[in-house]
Structure 1
Amino acid sequence: MENDPIAARLGAVYPELPPGERAVVRVLLDDYPFAALGSLRALAERAGVSPPTASRLFDRLGFGGFAAFQAAVRHGARDRSQLLEHVAGPTNLGQAAEDLRAGLDGTLAAVPESLCDKVAALLAEARTVWALGGPLSELAAEYLIRQLASLRPGAHRVPGPAPARARTVLDLGPSDVVVAYDFRRYSPGTARFVRAAHERGARLVLVTDAWGSPLAAQAEVLISLPREASGPIAPLAHEIAVTELLLVAAAALLAPTRRLADLEELTRSLS
């Protein structure tokens, strides 16, 4: 999808669209090109909007209607299929490495020092820090907590089962911080926990993409990352890189030399 001009066009116009048309674009990009190949009514229902709202998107894009948009998507899909027949073979690892490098540069540029410092202060001063993510981004949340727990007490992964999550939310308040990693396709479980925590007054650090996580309005600190990748692999490296920056900034505030020394000694004695 990353090399498809129509998908790129949808992504480029997304920030300028009204909310209803944004919802249609999210459905299209989440399931591209297949979401574009059904009926207009089916697409509108998936996006939670009316057919006229969905239709306005394709007029705005200059296609003159949904049928012309579908034809362009089908034509592009056929061209890509023919191209793949010619280039099928070993993955171009050199290009993948270049794409990863460029993606990391863009990701790090999206997190200026002032933003890192703001998150670091929350991580250092909170009574407790809780982190969670979706099916893949939960790995970044796990990494954050494993490292942060070495720097300070009270750093925890949000548990999975609903009863355990309820007990966690029960004790949250304004002195607690939730760090959520939320990327397309956005996790309903993450949204439910974050909204419940927000109602209790917990403060939210949201690491997300540029497509507009439904949790963005509740975030005290919002970190929006580009999500470039080569091929079908989601770029977890970007999330880990940003997490590293936040941890380094937090460590500078916490000065955990004594704690780390005690941790190392205890680890040796328990091994």
Structure 2
Amino acid sequence: MESDAIVARLSAVYAELPPGERAVVRVLLDDHPFAALGSLRALAERAGVSPPTASRLFDRLGYAGFADFQTAVRDGARDRSRLLEYVTRPEDEPPGELGEAAEELRAGLDGTLAAVPAQLCHRAAGVLAEARTVWALGGPLSELAADYLIRQLAGLRPGAHRVPEPAHARARTVLDLGAADLVVAYDFRRYSPATARFVRAARGRGARLILVTDTWGSPLAAEAELLIALPREAAGPIAPLTHEIAVTELLLVATAARLAPADRLADLDALTQSL
């Protein structure tokens, strides 16, 4: 069964499932295909249910247990792997060499940096510097860029946080958001339903949004106060985190210039050495 067919099947049965099994499906859909590639116990813990509850879902779906479901997911994901496409070309088109990959990444990086003009970067930096709190999140890979933003931004200013994973923790976060708060979302194809749900809930509370996305059309684009859309050429032989980090670096440099955080960084270094 192809990966898209699995997603469609999970979505189709969702409303008919008991609450515990629906929680498992939410995790599988929010982080597809990666949530299915660990252990059954890890999946159950993420969903907040027992392993037997998670196991019953796969029996209900007609699989011979969780391992059989994982095999189907891996087969579907493998079919969609960009890296696999890159190295398994037609016989008359040899696999890409390292030098070719480096050229693609370099060209993509140039296109990415060109897609963030100075005026847009400075506007985003102003919001990052002035917001009461900053909350960042991303999808299965882009969450690493969100984490990098917060790790560095927390050294520049207080109130910089990663959006927590569990639904109950996200609900508590949204509860306290308002017009003075900012969400920075990294959302790339295949767009994350979990990211969309959090962003829309936060926007419903009045929070501002900076969206870093691609040009294929994130469903969150219309929600963004500031939209940073990376060009299609930014896609190399694999989904290149390098470009997302590069844009994040530009935003951080511009934000640091606004905040002049020398004293805060000196205090941070001193504390780091003493703890």
TM range (shorter): 0.5 to 0.7
Identify the residue that residue 122 of structure 1 maps to in structure 2.
Answer: 127
Q: Is 1:192 aligned to 2:197, yes or no?
A: yes
TM normalised by structure 2 equals 0.67
1:139 maps to what in 2? 144
2:90 to 84, 94, 108: 84
Change (3 A) 1:92 1:124: same
Pairs within 5 Å for 1:72-111: 84-86=90-92, 91-111=96-116
TM-aligned CA deviation for residue 183 of structure 1: 0.5
Counterparts of 1:249 and 1:104, CA distance in 2:
19
**Who is 1:213 aligned against?**
218
- Could you tell me which runs of 5 or more consecutive residues in structure 1 were left unpaired when the two chains were aligned: 1-30, 43-79
Tell me, yes or no, if structure 1 residue 154 matches structure 2 residue 159.
yes
Partner residue, 1:262 = 267
**RMSD of aligned alpha carbons:** 2.4
What is residue 244 of structure 1 aligned with on the other side?
A: 249
Deviation at 1:84, TM superposition (A): 3.0
SS in 2 for 1:156: strand
How far, CA to CA, are the matches of 1:182 and 1:124 in structure 2? 22
2:236 pairs with 227, 230, 240, which one? 230
Q: Which amino acid aligns with 1:133?
A: G
CA contact (8 A) 2:108 2:236 kept: no
- What letter corresponds to residue 123 of structure 1 in structure 2? L
SS at match of 2:109: helix
Q: What residue identity is the alignment partner of 1:138?
A: E
* Distance in 2, Cα, partners of 1:230 & 1:215: 24
* 1: CA distance, partners of 2:88 / 2:169: 51
Q: Summarize deviations over 1:139-161 as a string: whole Å, max 9, x none.
A: 00000000000000000000000
- SS class of match (2:227): strand
Matched position secondary structure for 2:116:
coil
1:167 matched to 2:201? The reply is: no
| Count of residue pairs the alignment pairs up | 195
C-alpha offsets along residues 59-97 of structure 1, whole Å, 9 cap, x if unaligned?
xxxxxxxxxxxxxxxxxxxxx9996335556x4011111
- Secondary structure of 1:85's match? coil
What SS is found at the alignment partner of 2:91? helix
- Output one character per residue of 1:72-130: Cα deviation in whole Å (capped at 9) or x when no partner: xxxxxxxx9996335556x4011111111100110000000000000000000000000
- C-alpha spacing 1:195/1:93, structure 2 compared with 1 (3 Å): same
Q: Distance in 1 between matches of 2:88 and 2:182?
A: 50
- Residues 183 and 207, structure 2, Cα contact 8 Å, conserved in 1: yes
CA distance in 2, matches of 1:209, 1:117: 20
Q: 1:251 to 1:88 in 2, by over 3 A?
A: same
Distance 1:81 1:204 in 2: 38
Q: Are residues 88 and 181 of structure 1, via their aligned partners in 2, closer, same or farther at CA, if it must alter by over 3 Å?
A: same
Q: What runs of 5+ residues in structure 2 fail to find an aligned partner?
A: 9-85
Q: Does 1:204 align with 2:202?
A: no
| Residue 218 (structure 1) shift | 0.8
Mapping 1:50-89, distance limit 5 Å: 84-86=90-92
Q: Which has the greater radius of gyration? A: 1
Q: Give the 3 Å change call, closer, same or farther, for CA 123–184 of structure 1 in structure 2.
A: same
Structure 1 pair 230/127, CA: closer, same or farther in 2 (3 Å)?
A: closer
State the match for 1:58 in structure 2. Answer: none
Pairing 1:3-42 to 2, within 5 Å after superposition: none
Contact 1:178 1:205 (C-alpha < 8 Å) held by counterparts:
yes
- Aligned-partner residue type, residue 247 of structure 2: V
